Amino acid sequence: MDGMATSGTVLITGTSSGIGLAAAVAAARAGWTVVASMRDPARSGPLLAAAGAAGVAGRVHVERLDVTDAAGVEAAIARTVGAHGGLDAVVNNAGAGTVGTIEVDGMTAVRNTMEVNYFGVVEVTRAALPHLRAARGRLITVTSVGGVVGQPFNEAYCAAKFAVEGFMEALAPVAASVGVRVSVVEPGAVASEFVASQRLDIPKLVEAAGPYGPALRAYIDRTRKAFGNAQRAEDAAAPIIDALQHPDPPFRIQTSEWAHEFAATKLADLDGSAVQAMTAQWVSAG
């Protein structure tokens, strides 16, 4: 994999929908053998249909993998290596959003969010690294602009994504010393996530938020407007493929100009005042 990569075997987690599905199809079109993992392979219909429509069904192989199941992660990676002779790249994409605040939701919601979005990423990374080291391969993790900027009513989600970014930033030079390049990809609003969010019972959420209800209502109204200009999953997946193919990809990659500017606000905000002024507006009913 030294230099420009044009093929190999890539394991992508969370491919039943959204960015993961789009990345799996795009990687197959780019010549990769794609092991497309998901918790429930019964949900693979949309992925397989998209791969078929793109003419790459033969390069996409569905694999069951629940990132919160350590033994299952080990088994899935072992099956991948056994079936394809190695593992050249991993795209950590599986994750789950959550909306709420700690006083109302309690610790269980925080722990569950960390299990999927942080510890799941760490588990897959740990199990894959010996194979990526042998291949001098790539480790790419889809985080979020929520891993750079803390956002109201996303405390648990942002905490997990911040943790992932810190983990990968610390790992990157260590992995590079043995030939593994590490990158994080930071999407902003993505259309598929907006569709999923419509399943939330908004009135019930606002009522359950108690004294935080007015702020939550303001945040939801603002977020719905933001998703009016949401990026397509296919466009958000394109930088992932670029990172797979590029001979020397950057560590931190945003998927849109909006995400770039949003992340830049935080990275230049040494005392935190710019971010606090911005996000305070999101929860203001005025």
Burial class (CB in 10 A: 0-12, 13-18, 19+), 57: middle
CATH for 8-280?
3.40.50.720
pLDDT at position 286: 60
> How many residues belong to the chain?
286
Q: Would you write out the chain's pLDDT as a tens digit for each of its 286 residues?
A: 444 455 799 999 999 999 999 999 999 999 999 999 999 999 999 999 999 999 999 999 999 999 999 999 999 999 999 999 999 999 999 999 889 999 999 999 999 999 999 999 999 999 999 999 999 999 999 999 999 999 999 999 999 999 999 999 999 999 999 999 999 999 988 876 544 544 667 888 899 999 999 999 999 888 877 776 788 999 999 999 999 999 999 999 999 998 999 899 998 999 999 999 999 999 987 6
Would you state the pLDDT for residue 191? 76
pLDDT at 106: 95
What would the two tokens of residue 284 be?
């203001």
CA distance 151 to 265: 13
Positions annotated as catalytic residues are 157
Strand-by-strand arrangement of the 32-38 sheet: 60-64, 32-38, 8-12, 89-92, 138-142, 181-186, 252-254
> Given this model, what pLDDT does residue 230 score?
83
Q: Nearest to residue 117, comparing CAs of 175, 184, 28?
A: 184
What pLDDT is stored for residue 223 in this prediction? Answer: 83
Say if CB 27 and CB 34 are below 8 A apart: yes
Which DSSP category does 117 fall into? I
Does residue 256 contact residue 231 with C-beta atoms inside 8 Å? yes
Instruction: Give whole-number Cα distances, 117 to 157, 179, 203, 208, 282, in Å.
Output: 8, 26, 26, 24, 24
Q: How many Cα neighbours within 13 Å face the side chain of 188?
A: 18
